[in-house]
Amino acid sequence: MYDKILGGLLGAAVGDAMGAATEARTTEQIIQIFGHEVTDFEKPPADAIGAGNERGQLTDDFSCAYFIASHIIRHNGLVNQEIVKEAIIDWSEHKVFFERFAGPTTRLAIKKFKGETTKGADTIEVLPWQATNGAGMRISPIGLLNPGNLGSAINDAVTATLTTHDNHLAISGACAVACAVSRAMLPDADVYQVVQAGLYGAKEGERIGQQVGKIAAGPSVVRRMEMAVRIGLGQGTPREKMFEIADRVGSGLHISEAVPAAFGLFIANGGDAMASIIGGVNIGYDTDTVATMTGAIAGTLQGAGAFPNHYLELLDQVNGIDLANLARGIEKIAKQRRSANGRG
- Per residue of the chain (344 residues), give pLDDT as tens: 999 999 999 999 999 999 999 999 999 999 999 999 999 999 999 988 888 899 999 999 999 999 999 999 999 999 999 999 999 988 887 666 555 555 566 666 666 766 666 555 444 444 455 788 989 999 999 999 999 999 999 999 999 999 989 999 999 999 999 999 999 999 999 999 999 999 999 999 999 999 999 999 999 999 999 999 999 999 999 999 999 999 999 999 999 999 999 999 999 999 999 999 999 999 999 999 999 999 999 999 999 999 999 999 999 999 999 999 999 999 999 999 999 887 65
Give the pTM. 0.93
Q: Spell out the residues 6+ positions from residue 316 whose beta carbon is closer than 8 angstroms to its own.
A: 322, 323, 324
Question: In 166-271, which ranges are continuous DSSP H helix?
Answer: 168-184, 191-212, 221-233, 238-248, 255-268
Estimate the share of the chain in helix, then strand, then coil, as percent rounded to the nearest 5: 70, 0, 30
Q: Do the beta carbons of residue 202 and residue 176 sit within 8 Å?
A: yes
Region 2-117+132-340: CATH code: 1.10.4080.10
Residue 159, number of CB atoms within 10 A of its CB? 16
Residue 216, number of CB atoms within 10 A of its CB? 24
Using CA atoms, how far apart are residues 233 and 240, in angstroms rounded to an integer?
12
Maximal CA-CA distance, the chain: 54
| 3-class secondary structure, 212 | helix
